């Protein structure tokens, strides 16, 4: 034992922070000087001690909450016209509701953490098994895990009850993959020859594990450990009675914890619009406060108004600083008008999103009966974003297809074999052999079948022999295809693979497995035949090609040396492994190819067509080769047979890529000019948009990298004019880059990404909305998505129906909140002109407090949960209705201005209508007395509550019993509360201003008359406007409402003319001539490359004359 060498290595790594653990079953003095702590796993955010301060800090980071906190503090510090309760109570309600919600969610995380950390485990202490809790496991402990138990920490496999030292596990809780995986122990650890084990800090990638084990027996050895030797926390032991492993990473240092991260916060377009509106209303608030302050000082410039006889100033008031007095008055007006900013908007929006998200899971149309899976919502903050999608980026395998590989045929030495009645026969022959007979296999066929049977990672469950796990879908397809010719895969272990051919067993020794990776797109095995020869069997998955290579003993020694050197490398291990794989996988003998079929999912073509009619462009991003990707795109309707397909493939240089893109731009520009030319308008005026000639683009990963490097604008110009884009040979990061490219373009379109595999996670996280498919490639996509569905066909209803509903609900909710608050505060502002800007409030403090919390909150909440502008069947049958709400149309500046001006208009009617009908010159009570200030304010408030509630009723199209209950119940509750509040003397109130006021108001017939007249005056124009537009200028949505109510077909649909085909052929002929001329000018140098973009504008002007 070279102790000095080991000591030097340990101290060096420990000082750099790279040494995570030292395990030793020897007494080595210098190891005792190193200390390692117990790390506990937790996912909770709060503790009982930091919940209040931490939660308050997070909540007051929200601008609206912080704003109302400042208003509340101002009310406490200076003399303001309203009680601090008017701001403090709503703020307290909002903070409390949010804190309860977040506290409950964190309590669930605490509960889950306690279950994990308190689980019983067995560890080896002093040579015997001791039961303890998983949170007490220390780095270096030897842990025993029994069958079907979950690994409590990250373990290095030391031994198992199997003779070969292997074990089988499932990682369903980590990546969702339910297939069995084989993990191995090193020979020395299986026999416990180990004396010292060193672990180094590794990356947080599940597939990366750069760790070396130093085994001390007679001298110091190095043995490689990789992912196949690591048992990750959260995985489950299968088909193995028990294993022993050494704990190397615990708690938050385990790989599962390192890979746990909160998804980046996504903000919807509605939330951004809402924040913009808040800023505008904050500007209105500041304007009203500043104007009121200025007018107050202008009004009180005269002495008789500055100091009337009933309100003489004190000496301190006369000597106070004018600047401080101006600031104090400004803050007082700010407090008086602060309710124009709706604090309850945030709480209502959160409740709407949280409760509304349940409707997706409850929708039976989104339930997949075969897999017993329903749609799930992982992020309710983006519900309304489903109604704004403009681009859909989808994976192919497992998303558009079933990801179930079925063997169909193969080619061996140039001869095609196909399946006939469960048997493989050469093409052109029939299956006339008796049942159960075996065809005679010769050299090429036998070698091919051996390669198919031996080159895979399929595992068989010993408890359930019919259950086969592990491997990939291609291996399963080819492995099962071998059974057609009586070549069956029985078992595969670390030492041998048995293959059944004819009546005998043949034993092959498995030497090495070269695992599949996305760069090589293949996997290989090195086997030793019974005769002692070494053979490489290679299985290329993407192209499904089978090949082999035979090694001489000398060649195998060199191959083994390369592999071991790469696997034991401490630096650049991946690069050296790739070099070794490249050295081995060469000079191959082609054996044949297999043909497998991956069927399209049900209704994929109808779904893509519906999305296209809805104005949504679909991009397919796949790692498959060009031919396969184009074939699937044509099959699923992504590409049409009549579509012009532009191909950007195999570009070798920037200039070549730029020239091709310029040709495409010229072509697409000519199409646009021709179709928009006035001489052609009479041809196309009656043609539906979906019948206009469409274009598709095919681009591979290499060409895409060139296009995005220097010619991003050109590429985007081509893509924007294409109805469908197909990107093949794409790496996962390229998928995310394409999504980011569209997402950050000047138009800022809303993007949606959908996929089912781990390679789609980056794309899903990058898009505005990410949707995971519950497929067969694990659950990583589902766990990192915002929404999850079982099949691609459910995407249509998710967007066209649920997206439509969520958007119109939340858009109306936001606009209505601002509208009713304008109605609420504007009379306060107008009243100041009648009270000499003395900051007298028009409403009682209780009404100020309860207006947004009780009197007007429930109707809009119920509306935002149940409103349906159009019946769901109509939305699915007419995808074009989706366009009516696209581009955030219901929250545009135009609609915002309409609701704001409507609020000001109604507020003026409330105030001046009440003033005229119940003014100072009118005697309203039977005893000759007139109503006072509080009665007038209560009348305005009563009219306002009734009007804003009935205004929402006019906007409601889908009435349920809950809508009726909260609409009429809110009005009734206001009257009952006001009678109760004004009918009792409240001892804890300083004044009894409202005592008997409401009773007096309702006892006056003039007051009832005023309420009815004012409410009708406000709402009658809205009724007239709705009737006018519905019958004379209906929108497509209103037309659909009429047709559904009357139960008839759409009378407004337009059929395409019969001559469309002839026009298209002439169109293509002219375009071809124009394209040939313009391309020739460009490529021959007449159009300089650096001036090409400028010349495009010149050509667009000249093209009209040319085409005419």
CATH of the domain at 478: 3.40.1110
pLDDT of residue 895: 92
Distance CA 834, CA 822 (A): 19
Query: What is the per-residue pLDDT across 673-706, written as a single tens digit (0 to 9) for each?
Result: 555 544 344 444 444 444 456 788 899 888 888 8
Distance CA 538, CA 582 (A): 12
Q: What is the mean pLDDT of residues 998-1016?
A: 88
Residues 772 and 803 placed together within one structural domain of the fold:
no
How does DSSP classify residue 837? T
Residue 300 lies in a domain: no
Q: How many domains does the chain have?
A: 4
List the binding residues for Mg(2+).
395, 397, 756, 760
- Which runs of consecutive H residues, i.e. helices, occur in 920-1032? 933-955, 961-982, 997-1002, 1005-1031
pLDDT of residue 289: 92
CA 551 from chain center: how many Å? Answer: 50
pLDDT bracket for residue 867 (50, 70, 90): very high
Residue 308 lies in a domain: no
Residues 955 and 808 placed together within one structural domain of the fold:
yes
Nearest to 348 by CA among 971, 859, 787: 859
pLDDT of residue 1100: 46
The yes-or-no verdict on residue 275 having pLDDT over 60 is: yes
Residues 636 and 766 placed together within one structural domain of the fold:
yes
Q: What is the mean pLDDT of residues 1045-1055?
A: 44
pLDDT bracket for residue 641 (50, 70, 90): confident
Q: What is the mean pLDDT of residues 40-62?
A: 75
395 part of the active site = yes
Q: Which one of the listed residues 329, 395, 598, 844 is annotated catalytic?
A: 395
Are 726 and 635 contacting, i.e. CB atoms less than 8 angstroms apart? no
pLDDT of residue 429: 67
Residue 695: CB atoms within 10 A of its CB come to 18
Query: Hey, which of 189-203, 965-979, 1001-1015 has the most confident mean pLDDT?
Result: 965-979
Are 538 and 561 contacting, i.e. CB atoms less than 8 angstroms apart? no
Domain end (from 1016, 1045, 1074): 1045
Which whole-number Å values give the CA distances from 519 to 476, 541, 558, 574, 582, in the listed order?
21, 12, 24, 12, 11
Reduced to 3 states, what is the DSSP secondary structure of residue 142? Answer: strand
Distance CA 18, CA 10 (A): 10
Residues 876 and 1022 placed together within one structural domain of the fold:
yes
Higher per-residue confidence, 1034 vs 895: 895
Reduced to 3 states, what is the DSSP secondary structure of residue 538? Answer: strand
The yes-or-no verdict on residue 1099 having pLDDT over 80 is: no
pLDDT of residue 339: 84
Residue 320 lies in a domain: no
Classify the C-alpha dihedral 182-183-187-193 as positive or negative: negative
Q: What is the mean pLDDT of residues 302-313?
A: 61
Are 879 and 800 contacting, i.e. CB atoms less than 8 angstroms apart? yes
Q: Long-range contact list for 627-631, CB < 8 A, 24+ apart?
A: 628/728, 629/396, 629/698, 629/726, 629/728, 630/698, 630/726, 630/728
Residues 664 and 731 placed together within one structural domain of the fold:
yes
Residues 389 and 537 placed together within one structural domain of the fold:
no
pLDDT of residue 308: 62
C-alpha torsion angle, residues 326, 330, 336, 341 (rounded to 10):
180
Q: What is the mean pLDDT of residues 320-334?
A: 84
Residues 897 and 773 placed together within one structural domain of the fold:
no
Nearest to 14 by CA among 136, 139, 143, 192: 139
Domain end (from 542, 573, 596): 596
- Please tell me the pTM assigned to this model: 0.76
pLDDT of residue 966: 95
The answer to which of 782-786, 985-989, 1059-1063 has the lowest mean pLDDT is: 1059-1063
Residues 676 and 592 placed together within one structural domain of the fold:
no
The residue written with tokens 């047709």 in the block is 1043
Residue 376 parent element (H or E): strand 376-377
Residues 588 and 608 placed together within one structural domain of the fold:
no
**Mean pLDDT score of the chain:** 76
Residue 1024 lies in a domain: yes
pLDDT of residue 1014: 95
pLDDT of residue 470: 52
The answer to which of 6-20, 692-706, 798-812 has the lowest mean pLDDT is: 6-20
How does DSSP classify residue 525? E
Q: Which domain holds residue 583?
A: 402-430+440-596
Which whole-number Å values give the CA distances from 746 to 94, 418, 764, 1020, in the listed order?
37, 52, 21, 42
Q: What are phi and psi of 206, to 5 degrees?
A: -60, -35
Residues 520 and 617 placed together within one structural domain of the fold:
no
Residues 902 and 1011 placed together within one structural domain of the fold:
yes
Question: Which residues make beta-bridge pairs with 608?
Answer: none
Residue 496 lies in a domain: yes
List the binding residues.
395-397, 516, 542, 622-624, 729, 735, 756, 759-760
Query: What is the per-residue pLDDT across 732-771, written as a single tens digit (0 to 9) for each?
Result: 888 888 999 998 888 889 999 998 877 788 889 899 999 9
Domain end (from 216, 239, 259): 259
Residue 712 lies in a domain: yes
Distance CA 337, CA 827 (A): 10
pLDDT bracket for residue 632 (50, 70, 90): confident
Query: What is the per-residue pLDDT across 384-429, written as a single tens digit (0 to 9) for each?
Result: 999 999 999 998 888 888 877 777 788 888 888 887 776 777 876 6
Residue 1059 lies in a domain: no
List the binding residues for ATP.
395-397, 516, 542, 622-624, 729, 735, 759-760
pLDDT of residue 1002: 85
Burial tier of 1062 (Cβ tally within 10 Å: 0-12, 13-18, 19+): exposed
Contacts of 492 by beta carbon, 8 Å cutoff, 6+ apart = 182, 456, 457, 458, 459, 510
Higher per-residue confidence, 603 vs 983: 603
What is the CATH classification number for the domain harbouring 34?
2.70.150.10
pLDDT of residue 90: 78
Residues 372 and 423 placed together within one structural domain of the fold:
no
Residue 828 lies in a domain: yes
Higher per-residue confidence, 23 vs 189: 189
pLDDT bracket for residue 717 (50, 70, 90): confident
Q: Token pair of 734, please?
A: 């390229």
pLDDT bracket for residue 240 (50, 70, 90): confident
């Amino acid at each position: 034992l070279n102790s000095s060498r080991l000591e030097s290595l340990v101290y060096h790594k420990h000082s750099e922070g790279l040494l995570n653990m030292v395990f030793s079953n020897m007494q080595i003095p210098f190891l005792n000087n190193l200390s390692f702590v117990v790390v506990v796993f937790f996912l909770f955010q709060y503790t009982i001690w930091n919940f209040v301060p931490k939660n308050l800090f997070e909540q007051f980071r929200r601008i609206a909450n912080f704003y109302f906190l400042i208003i509340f503090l101002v009310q406490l510090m200076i003399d303001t016209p309203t009680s601090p309760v008017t701001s403090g109570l709503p703020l307290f309600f909002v903070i409390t509701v949010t804190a309860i919600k977040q506290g409950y969610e964190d309590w669930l995380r605490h509960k889950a953490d306690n279950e994990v950390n308190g689980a019983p485990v067995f560890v080896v202490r002093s040579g015997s098994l001791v039961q303890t809790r998983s949170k007490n496991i220390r780095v270096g402990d030897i842990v025993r895990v029994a069958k079907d138990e979950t690994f409590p920490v990250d373990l290095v496999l030391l031994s198992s009850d199997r003779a070969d030292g292997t074990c089988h596990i499932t990682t369903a809780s980590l990546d969702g993959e339910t297939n069995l995986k084989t993990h191995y122990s090193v020979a020395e650890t299986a026999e416990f020859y180990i004396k010292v084990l060193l672990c180094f800090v590794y990356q947080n990638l599940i597939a990366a594990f750069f760790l070396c084990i130093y085994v001390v027996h007679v001298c110091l050895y190095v043995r490689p450990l990789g992912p196949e030797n690591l048992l990750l926390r959260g995985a489950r032991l299968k088909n193995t009675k028990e294993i022993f492993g050494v704990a190397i990473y615990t708690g938050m240092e385990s790989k599962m914890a390192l890979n746990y991260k909160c998804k980046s916060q996504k903000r919807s377009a509605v939330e951004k619009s809402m924040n913009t509106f808040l800023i505008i209303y904050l500007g209105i608030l500041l304007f009203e406060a500043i104007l009121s302050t200025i007018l107050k000082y202008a009004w009180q410039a005269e002495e008789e108004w500055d100091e009337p006889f009933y309100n003489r100033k004190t000496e301190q008031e006369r000597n106070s600083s004018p600047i401080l007095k101006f600031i104090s008055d400004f803050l007082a007006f700010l407090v008086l008008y602060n309710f124009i900013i709706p604090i309850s908007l945030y709480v209502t929006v959160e409740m709407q999103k949280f409760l509304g998200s349940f409707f997706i899971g409850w929708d039976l149309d989104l339930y997949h009966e075969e897999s017993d899976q329903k749609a799930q919502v992982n992020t309710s903050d983006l519900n309304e974003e489903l109604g704004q999608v403009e681009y859909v980026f989808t994976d192919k395998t497992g998303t558009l297809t079933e990801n179930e590989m079925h063997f169909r045929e193969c080619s061996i030495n140039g001869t095609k074999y196909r399946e006939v009645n469960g048997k493989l026969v050469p093409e052109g022959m029939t299956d006339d052999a008796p049942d159960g007979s075996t065809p005679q296999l010769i050299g090429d066929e036998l070698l091919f079948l051996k390669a198919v049977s031996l080159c895979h990672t399929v595992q068989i469950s010993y408890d359930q022999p019919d259950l086969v796990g592990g491997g990939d879908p291609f291996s399963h397809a080819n492995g099962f295809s071998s059974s057609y010719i009586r070549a069956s895969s029985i078992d595969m272990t670390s030492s041998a693979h048995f293959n059944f051919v004819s009546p005998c067993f043949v034993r092959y020794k498995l030497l090495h497995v070269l695992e599949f990776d996305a760069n090589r797109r293949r996997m290989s095995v090195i086997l030793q035949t019974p005769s002692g020869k070494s053979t490489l069997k290679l299985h290329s998955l993407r192209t499904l090609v089978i090949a082999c290579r035979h090694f001489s003993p000398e060649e195998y020694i060199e191959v083994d040396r390369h592999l071991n050197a790469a696997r034991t490398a401490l630096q650049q291990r991946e690069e050296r492994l790739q070099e070794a794989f490249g050295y081995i996988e060469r000079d191959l003998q082609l054996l044949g190819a297999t043909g497998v079929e991956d069927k399209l999912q049900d209704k994929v073509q109808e779904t893509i067509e519906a999305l296209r009619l809805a104005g949504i462009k679909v991009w397919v991003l796949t790692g498959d080769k060009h031919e396969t990707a184009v074939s699937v795109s044509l099959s699923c309707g992504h590409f049409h047979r009549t579509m012009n397909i532009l191909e950007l493939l195999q570009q070798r240089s920037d200039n070549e890529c730029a020239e091709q893109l310029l040709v495409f731009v010229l072509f697409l520009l000519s199409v646009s000019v021709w179709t928009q030319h006035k001489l052609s308008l009479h041809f196309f005026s009656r043609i539906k948009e979906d019948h206009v000639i469409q274009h598709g683009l095919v681009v591979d990963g290499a060409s895409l990298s060139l296009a995005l490097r220097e010619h991003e604008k050109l590429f985007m110009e081509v893509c924007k004019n294409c109805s469908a884009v197909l990107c093949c040979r794409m790496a996962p990061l390229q998928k995310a880059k394409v999504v980011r490219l569209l997402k950050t373009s000047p138009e800022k379109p809303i993007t949606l990404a959908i996929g089912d595999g781990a390679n789609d996670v980056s794309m899903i996280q990058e898009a505005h909305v990410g949707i995971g498919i519950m497929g067969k490639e694990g659950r990583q996509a589902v766990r990192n998505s915002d929404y999850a569905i079982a099949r691609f066909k459910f995407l249509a209803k998710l967007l066209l129906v649920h997206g439509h509903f969520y958007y119109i609900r939340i858009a109306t909710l936001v606009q209505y909140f601002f509208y009713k608050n304008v109605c609420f505060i504007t009379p306060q502002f107008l009243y100041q002109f009648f009270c000499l800007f003395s900051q007298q409030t028009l409403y009682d403090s209780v009404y100020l407090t309860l207006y947004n919390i009780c009197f007007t909150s429930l109707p809009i909440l119920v509306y935002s949960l149940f409103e349906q502008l159009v019946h769901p069947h109509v939305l699915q049958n007419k995808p074009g209705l989706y366009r009516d709400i696209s581009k955030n149309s219901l929250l545009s500046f135009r609609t915002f201005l309409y609701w704001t001006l409507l609020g000001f208009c109604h507020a003026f009617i409330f105030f001046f209508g009440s003033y005229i009908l119940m003014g100072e010159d009118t005697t309203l009570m039977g005893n000759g007395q007139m109503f006072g200030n509080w009665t007038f304010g209560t009348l305005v408030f009563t009219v306002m509550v009734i009007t804003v509630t009935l205004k929402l009723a006019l906007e409601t199209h889908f009435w349920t019993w809950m809508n009726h209950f909260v609409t009429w119940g809110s009005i009734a509750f206001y009257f009952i509360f006001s009678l109760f509040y004004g009918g009792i003397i409240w001892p804890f109130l300083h004044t009894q201003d409202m005592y008997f006021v409401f009773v007096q108001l309702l006892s006056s017939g003039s007051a009832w008359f005023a309420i009815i007249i004012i409410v009708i005056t406000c709402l009658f124009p809205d009724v007239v406007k709705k009737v006018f537009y519905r019958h004379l200028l209906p929108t497509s949505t209103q037309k659909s409402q009429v047709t559904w109510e009357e139960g008839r077909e759409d009378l407004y649909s337009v059929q395409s003319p019969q001559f469309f085909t002839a026009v298209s052929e002439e169109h293509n002929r002219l375009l071809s001539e124009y394209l040939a001329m313009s391309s020739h000018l460009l490529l021959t140098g007449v159009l300089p490359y650096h001036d090409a973009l400028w010349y495009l504008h010149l050509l667009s002007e000249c093209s009209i004359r040319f085409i005419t």
